[in-house]
Structure 1
Protein backbone atom coordinates (compact mmCIF):
# COMPACT_ATOMS: atom_id res chain seq x y z
CA UNK A 1 0.00 0.00 0.00
CA UNK A 2 2.96 2.31 0.52
CA UNK A 3 3.65 2.34 -3.22
CA UNK A 4 0.03 3.14 -4.01
CA UNK A 5 -0.02 5.93 -1.43
CA UNK A 6 3.21 7.32 -2.92
CA UNK A 7 1.74 7.38 -6.43
CA UNK A 8 -1.29 9.33 -5.25
CA UNK A 9 0.87 11.68 -3.19
CA UNK A 10 3.29 12.29 -6.10
CA UNK A 11 0.60 12.78 -8.74
CA UNK A 12 -1.88 14.71 -6.63
CA UNK A 13 -4.73 12.48 -7.77
CA UNK A 14 -7.62 11.84 -5.40
CA UNK A 15 -8.08 8.23 -4.29
CA UNK A 16 -11.77 8.29 -5.20
CA UNK A 17 -10.86 9.00 -8.84
CA UNK A 18 -9.56 5.43 -9.25
CA UNK A 19 -11.68 2.37 -9.98
CA UNK A 20 -9.82 -0.90 -9.43
CA UNK A 21 -10.97 -4.14 -11.09
CA UNK A 22 -9.93 -7.66 -10.19
CA UNK A 23 -11.00 -10.83 -11.95
CA UNK A 24 -12.93 -13.39 -10.03
CA UNK A 25 -10.28 -16.06 -10.68
CA UNK A 26 -7.42 -13.92 -9.31
CA UNK A 27 -9.52 -13.06 -6.29
CA UNK A 28 -10.16 -16.71 -5.47
CA UNK A 29 -6.51 -17.79 -5.84
CA UNK A 30 -5.55 -16.13 -2.56
CA UNK A 31 -8.85 -14.84 -1.22
CA UNK A 32 -7.73 -13.84 2.27
CA UNK A 33 -4.70 -11.79 1.18
CA UNK A 34 -6.55 -10.22 -1.74
CA UNK A 35 -9.52 -9.34 0.46
CA UNK A 36 -7.21 -7.55 2.92
CA UNK A 37 -5.72 -5.55 0.05
CA UNK A 38 -9.16 -4.70 -1.32
CA UNK A 39 -10.32 -3.54 2.11
CA UNK A 40 -7.28 -1.25 2.33
CA UNK A 41 -8.11 0.16 -1.12
CA UNK A 42 -11.75 0.64 -0.20
CA UNK A 43 -10.75 2.39 3.02
CA UNK A 44 -8.95 4.90 0.80
CA UNK A 45 -12.20 5.45 -1.15
CA UNK A 46 -10.97 3.54 -4.20
CA UNK A 47 -13.93 1.78 -5.82
CA UNK A 48 -13.53 -1.97 -6.38
CA UNK A 49 -15.05 -4.02 -9.21
CA UNK A 50 -15.16 -7.79 -9.68
CA UNK A 51 -14.60 -8.62 -13.34
CA UNK A 52 -15.68 -11.75 -15.25
CA UNK A 53 -18.15 -12.75 -12.54
CA UNK A 54 -19.64 -16.18 -13.11
CA UNK A 55 -16.85 -17.65 -15.22
CA UNK A 56 -14.70 -19.03 -12.43
CA UNK A 57 -15.41 -20.04 -8.89
CA UNK A 58 -18.35 -17.71 -8.18
CA UNK A 59 -18.20 -18.39 -4.49
CA UNK A 60 -21.20 -16.65 -3.03
CA UNK A 61 -19.74 -17.08 0.44
CA UNK A 62 -16.94 -14.67 -0.49
CA UNK A 63 -19.04 -12.24 -2.49
CA UNK A 64 -20.87 -10.73 0.46
CA UNK A 65 -17.61 -10.19 2.37
CA UNK A 66 -15.77 -8.36 -0.38
CA UNK A 67 -15.50 -4.57 -0.36
CA UNK A 68 -16.63 -4.35 -3.99
CA UNK A 69 -19.03 -1.75 -5.35
CA UNK A 70 -19.35 -3.13 -8.88
CA UNK A 71 -19.97 -6.58 -10.35
CA UNK A 72 -19.16 -7.18 -14.03
CA UNK A 73 -21.12 -9.91 -15.81
CA UNK A 74 -18.95 -11.84 -18.23
CA UNK A 75 -19.71 -11.59 -21.94
CA UNK A 76 -20.42 -15.33 -22.11
CA UNK A 77 -23.71 -14.76 -20.24
CA UNK A 78 -24.64 -11.72 -22.33
CA UNK A 79 -24.01 -13.65 -25.56
CA UNK A 80 -26.52 -16.33 -24.50
CA UNK A 81 -29.42 -13.87 -24.27
CA UNK A 82 -31.62 -14.60 -27.29
CA UNK A 83 -33.03 -11.76 -29.43
CA UNK A 84 -36.49 -12.40 -27.93
CA UNK A 85 -35.06 -12.00 -24.41
CA UNK A 86 -35.18 -15.67 -23.51
CA UNK A 87 -32.26 -17.43 -21.86
CA UNK A 88 -31.62 -14.44 -19.59
CA UNK A 89 -32.32 -16.14 -16.26
CA UNK A 90 -28.70 -16.27 -15.09
CA UNK A 91 -28.14 -12.62 -15.95
CA UNK A 92 -31.34 -11.68 -14.11
CA UNK A 93 -30.16 -13.63 -11.05
CA UNK A 94 -26.72 -11.98 -11.07
CA UNK A 95 -28.24 -8.49 -11.40
CA UNK A 96 -30.68 -9.20 -8.56
CA UNK A 97 -27.88 -10.55 -6.35
CA UNK A 98 -25.61 -7.58 -7.06
CA UNK A 99 -28.37 -5.10 -6.28
CA UNK A 100 -29.18 -6.92 -3.04
CA UNK A 101 -25.52 -6.40 -2.08
CA UNK A 102 -25.76 -2.70 -3.08
CA UNK A 103 -23.48 -3.16 -6.09
CA UNK A 104 -23.67 -1.59 -9.54
CA UNK A 105 -23.71 -4.00 -12.48
CA UNK A 106 -21.72 -3.81 -15.72
CA UNK A 107 -22.59 -6.24 -18.52
CA UNK A 108 -19.65 -7.02 -20.79
CA UNK A 109 -19.83 -7.99 -24.45
CA UNK A 110 -22.91 -6.05 -25.57
CA UNK A 111 -22.96 -6.22 -29.36
CA UNK A 112 -26.59 -5.78 -30.43
CA UNK A 113 -29.45 -3.38 -29.74
CA UNK A 114 -31.55 -6.35 -28.55
CA UNK A 115 -28.96 -7.28 -25.91
CA UNK A 116 -28.83 -3.67 -24.77
CA UNK A 117 -32.62 -3.49 -24.48
CA UNK A 118 -32.90 -6.75 -22.53
CA UNK A 119 -30.09 -5.82 -20.13
CA UNK A 120 -31.74 -2.45 -19.53
CA UNK A 121 -35.02 -4.23 -18.75
CA UNK A 122 -33.17 -6.53 -16.33
CA UNK A 123 -31.93 -3.49 -14.39
CA UNK A 124 -28.30 -3.56 -15.47
CA UNK A 125 -26.85 -0.07 -14.94
CA UNK A 126 -23.82 -0.14 -17.24
CA UNK A 127 -22.59 -1.95 -20.30
CA UNK A 128 -19.44 -2.54 -22.30
CA UNK A 129 -19.03 -3.99 -25.74
CA UNK A 130 -18.46 -3.42 -29.40
CA UNK A 131 -21.92 -1.88 -29.62
CA UNK A 132 -20.07 1.24 -28.34
CA UNK A 133 -16.54 0.41 -29.48
CA UNK A 134 -15.87 -1.40 -26.16
CA UNK A 135 -16.34 1.62 -23.85
CA UNK A 136 -18.37 1.48 -20.64
CA UNK A 137 -21.66 3.38 -20.87
CA UNK A 138 -24.57 3.88 -18.46
CA UNK A 139 -27.73 1.95 -19.33
CA UNK A 140 -29.91 3.40 -16.58
CA UNK A 141 -29.98 6.57 -14.55
CA UNK A 142 -27.93 6.18 -11.38
CA UNK A 143 -29.82 4.38 -8.62
CA UNK A 144 -30.60 6.34 -5.46
Structure 2
Protein backbone atom coordinates (compact mmCIF):
# COMPACT_ATOMS: atom_id res chain seq x y z
CA UNK A 1 0.00 0.00 0.00
CA UNK A 2 1.22 3.45 -0.85
CA UNK A 3 -0.24 6.61 0.63
CA UNK A 4 -0.90 9.54 -1.64
CA UNK A 5 0.17 13.06 -0.80
CA UNK A 6 -3.43 13.71 0.27
CA UNK A 7 -3.13 11.11 3.00
CA UNK A 8 0.34 12.14 4.15
CA UNK A 9 -0.32 15.88 4.08
CA UNK A 10 -3.77 15.53 5.58
CA UNK A 11 -2.30 13.54 8.43
CA UNK A 12 0.34 16.27 8.94
CA UNK A 13 -2.39 18.93 9.12
CA UNK A 14 -4.39 16.84 11.58
CA UNK A 15 -1.32 16.30 13.77
CA UNK A 16 -0.82 20.06 13.89
CA UNK A 17 -4.48 20.64 14.77
CA UNK A 18 -4.18 17.91 17.39
CA UNK A 19 -1.26 19.72 19.02
CA UNK A 20 -3.47 22.80 19.26
CA UNK A 21 -6.48 20.90 20.62
CA UNK A 22 -8.16 22.89 23.39
CA UNK A 23 -6.68 26.19 22.16
CA UNK A 24 -8.23 28.84 19.93
CA UNK A 25 -9.13 28.06 16.32
CA UNK A 26 -6.12 27.67 14.04
CA UNK A 27 -5.98 29.66 10.81
CA UNK A 28 -5.18 28.09 7.48
CA UNK A 29 -2.12 30.35 7.27
CA UNK A 30 -0.82 29.02 10.58
CA UNK A 31 -1.29 25.41 9.49
CA UNK A 32 0.40 26.25 6.19
CA UNK A 33 3.43 27.80 7.88
CA UNK A 34 3.75 24.93 10.36
CA UNK A 35 3.44 22.15 7.78
CA UNK A 36 4.92 23.78 4.68
CA UNK A 37 1.74 23.06 2.70
CA UNK A 38 0.06 25.58 0.41
CA UNK A 39 -3.17 27.23 1.52
CA UNK A 40 -4.95 26.01 -1.62
CA UNK A 41 -4.03 22.39 -0.99
CA UNK A 42 -4.90 22.66 2.70
CA UNK A 43 -8.33 24.05 1.79
CA UNK A 44 -9.03 20.92 -0.25
CA UNK A 45 -7.89 18.62 2.56
CA UNK A 46 -9.77 20.51 5.28
CA UNK A 47 -12.94 20.44 3.17
CA UNK A 48 -12.79 16.61 3.10
CA UNK A 49 -11.98 16.40 6.80
CA UNK A 50 -14.97 18.65 7.57
CA UNK A 51 -17.29 16.44 5.49
CA UNK A 52 -16.30 13.48 7.66
CA UNK A 53 -16.84 15.46 10.90
CA UNK A 54 -13.19 15.33 11.90
CA UNK A 55 -12.69 19.11 11.72
CA UNK A 56 -14.97 22.08 12.33
CA UNK A 57 -14.57 25.65 11.14
CA UNK A 58 -15.13 28.81 13.15
CA UNK A 59 -15.95 31.98 11.25
CA UNK A 60 -14.82 35.47 12.04
CA UNK A 61 -11.67 37.41 12.72
CA UNK A 62 -10.49 34.92 15.33
CA UNK A 63 -11.82 32.01 13.28
CA UNK A 64 -10.07 29.00 11.92
CA UNK A 65 -10.19 25.25 12.34
CA UNK A 66 -10.49 22.89 15.29
CA UNK A 67 -10.65 19.15 15.73
CA UNK A 68 -14.23 18.09 16.33
CA UNK A 69 -13.11 15.38 18.77
CA UNK A 70 -10.15 14.86 21.04
CA UNK A 71 -6.98 13.55 19.33
CA UNK A 72 -7.41 10.43 21.50
CA UNK A 73 -10.76 9.77 19.82
CA UNK A 74 -9.57 10.09 16.21
CA UNK A 75 -7.87 7.09 14.64
CA UNK A 76 -5.33 7.25 11.85
CA UNK A 77 -7.69 4.97 9.91
CA UNK A 78 -10.48 7.57 10.06
CA UNK A 79 -8.20 10.23 8.64
CA UNK A 80 -6.74 8.12 5.85
CA UNK A 81 -10.08 6.58 4.85
CA UNK A 82 -11.43 10.12 4.53
CA UNK A 83 -8.60 11.39 2.34
CA UNK A 84 -7.46 8.43 0.28
CA UNK A 85 -9.43 7.62 -2.87
CA UNK A 86 -8.22 4.04 -2.74
CA UNK A 87 -7.11 2.63 0.56
CA UNK A 88 -5.91 -0.94 0.51
CA UNK A 89 -3.22 -3.40 -0.45
CA UNK A 90 -4.94 -4.10 -3.78
CA UNK A 91 -8.21 -2.78 -5.16
CA UNK A 92 -9.87 -6.17 -4.81
CA UNK A 93 -8.85 -6.46 -1.15
CA UNK A 94 -10.46 -3.14 -0.28
CA UNK A 95 -13.67 -3.37 -2.31
CA UNK A 96 -15.57 -6.54 -3.08
CA UNK A 97 -16.96 -6.97 -6.59
CA UNK A 98 -14.31 -5.04 -8.53
CA UNK A 99 -12.66 -8.08 -10.05
CA UNK A 100 -14.37 -10.70 -12.18
CA UNK A 101 -11.92 -13.32 -10.83
CA UNK A 102 -12.68 -12.54 -7.20
CA UNK A 103 -14.20 -15.95 -6.44
CA UNK A 104 -11.46 -17.94 -8.16
CA UNK A 105 -8.33 -15.87 -7.48
CA UNK A 106 -5.84 -17.94 -5.49
CA UNK A 107 -4.03 -14.91 -4.07
CA UNK A 108 -7.05 -12.83 -3.03
CA UNK A 109 -7.11 -14.45 0.40
CA UNK A 110 -3.64 -13.14 1.25
CA UNK A 111 -4.41 -9.63 -0.09
CA UNK A 112 -7.63 -9.50 1.91
CA UNK A 113 -5.87 -10.69 5.07
CA UNK A 114 -3.10 -8.10 4.62
CA UNK A 115 -5.70 -5.38 4.05
CA UNK A 116 -7.66 -6.37 7.16
CA UNK A 117 -4.49 -6.52 9.28
CA UNK A 118 -3.41 -3.09 8.09
CA UNK A 119 -6.80 -1.51 8.76
CA UNK A 120 -7.02 -3.09 12.21
CA UNK A 121 -3.52 -1.83 13.03
CA UNK A 122 -4.19 1.79 12.14
CA UNK A 123 -7.61 1.75 13.77
CA UNK A 124 -5.72 1.20 17.01
CA UNK A 125 -3.42 4.18 16.49
CA UNK A 126 -4.90 7.49 17.56
CA UNK A 127 -3.92 10.94 16.46
CA UNK A 128 -2.74 11.47 20.04
CA UNK A 129 -0.41 8.48 19.70
CA UNK A 130 1.30 10.18 16.75
CA UNK A 131 1.49 13.52 18.55
CA UNK A 132 3.02 11.86 21.61
CA UNK A 133 5.71 10.15 19.52
CA UNK A 134 6.75 13.32 17.72
CA UNK A 135 9.96 14.87 18.99
Q: Which structure's residues are more often helix, by fraction?
A: 2
Q: Which structure's residues are more often strand, by fraction?
A: 1
TM-score normalized by structure 2? 0.26
TM-score normalized by structure 1? 0.25
Q: Which is greater in Rg? A: 2
The one of the two structures with greater contact order (alpha-carbon pairs below 8 A, sep at least 6) is 2
